[in-house]
Structure 1
Amino acid sequence: MPKNISRYLREFLENLKQSKGRTEKTIENYRFYMSRFIDFFGDKKPDRLTVDTIKRYRKWLGELIDARGEPLKKNTQNYHLIALRNFLRYLQSKKITTLSHREIKLDQINMKKPSVLGKTDLERLLDAPLKDKTAGKNDTLSNHRNKAVLELLFSTGMLVSEIAKLKKTDINLNKNELSLLIKKNKQKTVPLSEQARYWIKQYLNLRKDSNPYLFIPHDKRAGKNKDKGITPRTVQRIVNKCAKSAGLQKNITPHSFRHSYTLSMIKSGVSVENIKKTLGLSNDNSSRYC
């Protein structure tokens, strides 16, 4: 007998964790977006969903007000639709009668391409951490960490979430490479540049802690997080702070490194297919970089 959506949702979220290897943050986001859909539609059986349901849900999302008293942005509305689409795809894989996930189309959004770092700007940005004198008591540790983070961003094109979850055991300085868990039980080997290797080694040599993470907090709150790494938001703050310190006027984000890395690979003659494989890009979003 068919179950209500909430029952299937628990199974779907468990599948994301066990089979797909999604992070806790991703699973929480799916839970939040799907709870919004249940608020709208009710906890009914999946076979009650129709094309008209999706039309009305889109309208409902467009009229929804966020915590700041503002309408939901288009990309936020898309996140809700993506969660529902993937949930329906899961139900169909289990042969459960429901609306086809192909009936959910996303709103087209004009995405701004990240700023490209020219050679001069890049040099100024990479030099900024060691010239920074505002980090407080642990300025040497923080500045060396920030330098290593920037070098790693530029030389690998990694995502902030990937950098934040790196552990010391993921790095092999003898082989100039790191191992990255991209899916459950699936590793990807990423080569390190000499500069990234050098500054990671310098940073680790300064540390006297037993924290397993490669990059850790060094501010006054660090004592409360002895076994935790930095967050993706911290990586973003590092980039913003160093860009400001370097006097760069353009909007520099971690994705600026990813975009610059991609362009440097293209100029070096690396094929688009190999770039997509290295960055873990799908055909849907590769055009943004390639």
Structure 2
Amino acid sequence: MKSWTKYINDYQSYLKIERGLSDNSVTNYLFDVKRLVAYIEENEIDVSPKKITEETIQQFIYHIAETLNPRSRARLISGLKSFFSYIVFEGYREDNPLALIEVPKIGRKLPDTLSTDEIDMLIGSIDLSAKNKQGHRNKAILETLYSCGLRVSELTELKISDLFFDEGFIKVTGKGNKQRFVPIDNLTQKYITIYKDEVRVLQPIQKGYEDTLFLNRRGKSLTRAMIFTIIKNLAKQAELNKTISPHTFRHSFATHLLENGADLRSIQLMLGHESITTTEIYMHMDRKFLKNIIDNYHPRR
């Protein structure tokens, strides 16, 4: 619908340029708005973002609610609220039609984690023989995900120039192109160095990827999907009966740090969370651990 195209394109530019969101995040934000537009077109409702009413949006939400779980509905409403907040911000209208629409209450989903034994078992299942040319790369990838708590996009975008091994850090570019330095242990440095100096140097590298650390067989950067596939295949190979993803290593990183006495603020900085509230989810991970804290440190115990 032409009356929506300009607003959506402007909103897309705002998300990318002013808010600095990644392409994946921008796509997710626009997806919610485009679903609303599809509903309007399908029902032949002639209305622009400046004139659409709360009633029309409420009808759309009721229409689509049956196909969505509470978490997806909450994300949909949040995405639309963000779009219309931008419309208000730009002065196209005076009110946000979703201001009084409540977001469904959802329980906080606790992330899945792996034990240290399970992580050792996964990494130990990697074939490092000469016939498996990607073995050392995959081992370095898993060690980096776990020891540094990286998002999968942060891993795929990691550069050789981001490695500051003499200082014991790597430079990570996170959401919104915000950079942070994360400590990296000597063992993980060793596995990255083996891959970089003994394996990576032997393969052809495509122009523009000379500084990219982890490469695929064609000499280009790995995709998110490829990292998921590597981990899925290793879990199957190790007979680990859990559904895991690259993010599982990030959650395990944070949980194990907390269990071993690290403070939330330090974990927040290493994970690159903007708000401590996001990091606090890990306080719910192991109630036995929290009970031990009380038993060991409270003066009345």
> Any residues of structure 2 matched to 1:15-164 within 5 Å, and which?
15-41=14-40, 44-62=47-65, 71-97=67-93, 98-99=95-96, 102-110=99-107, 112-130=109-127, 139-140=132-133, 142-164=134-156
Q: Deviations over 1:22-60 (max 9, x none)?
A: 222333333333222112235733342333233212122
TM-align CA RMSD: 2.8
Kept after mapping to 2: 8 A contact 1:89/1:101: no
Kept after mapping to 1: 8 A contact 2:258/2:282: no
Alignment: residue pair count:
269
Match of 2:84, SS?
A: helix
Query: Which of these two proteins has the greater Rg computed from alpha carbons?
Result: 2
Deviation at 1:200, TM superposition (A): 1.2
Distance 1:231 1:273, change over 3 A: same
Match of 1:179, SS?
A: strand
Kept after mapping to 2: 8 A contact 1:86/1:101: no
Match of 1:189, SS?
A: strand
Partner of 2:294: none
Deviation at 1:284, TM superposition (A): 5.7
Unaligned runs of 5+ in 2: 284-301
Partner of 2:256: 264
Alignment equivalent of 2:226, drawn from 214, 228, 234: 234
Distance 1:279 1:9, change over 3 A: same
Q: For residues 185 and 258 of structure 1, what CA distance do their matches in structure 2 show?
A: 19
Q: Deviations over 1:103-144 (max 9, x none)?
A: 45433444653333223222111212236x7xxx9723x111
Distance 1:23 1:127, change over 3 A: same
Kept after mapping to 1: 8 A contact 2:81/2:96: no
Aligned partner of 1:122: which letter? I
Kept after mapping to 1: 8 A contact 2:126/2:138: yes
Distance 1:192 1:32, change over 3 A: same
Q: For residues 182 and 119 of structure 1, what CA distance do their matches in structure 2 show?
A: 26
Unaligned runs of 5+ in 1: 64-70
Partner of 2:297: none
TM-score calculated relative to the size of structure 1: 0.80
Q: For residues 277 and 62 of structure 2, what CA distance do their matches in structure 1 show?
A: 25
Match of 2:125, SS?
A: helix
Alignment equivalent of 2:279, drawn from 256, 281, 286: 286
Distance 1:186 1:37, change over 3 A: same
Partner of 1:67: none
Partner of 1:198: 190
Q: For residues 249 and 101 of structure 2, what CA distance do their matches in structure 1 show?
A: 33
Deviation at 1:152, TM superposition (A): 0.9
Alignment equivalent of 1:247, drawn from 215, 239, 242: 239
Alignment equivalent of 1:180, drawn from 154, 168, 172: 172
Kept after mapping to 2: 8 A contact 1:54/1:104: no
Q: For residues 171 and 251 of structure 2, what CA distance do their matches in structure 1 show?
A: 22
Partner of 1:66: none
Kept after mapping to 2: 8 A contact 1:180/1:188: yes
Distance 1:255 1:288, change over 3 A: farther
Q: For residues 99 and 225 of structure 2, what CA distance do their matches in structure 1 show?
A: 33
Q: For residues 83 and 278 of structure 1, what CA distance do their matches in structure 2 show?
A: 28
Kept after mapping to 2: 8 A contact 1:156/1:190: yes
Distance 1:236 1:107, change over 3 A: farther
Q: For residues 187 and 102 of structure 2, what CA distance do their matches in structure 1 show?
A: 44
Partner of 1:168: 160
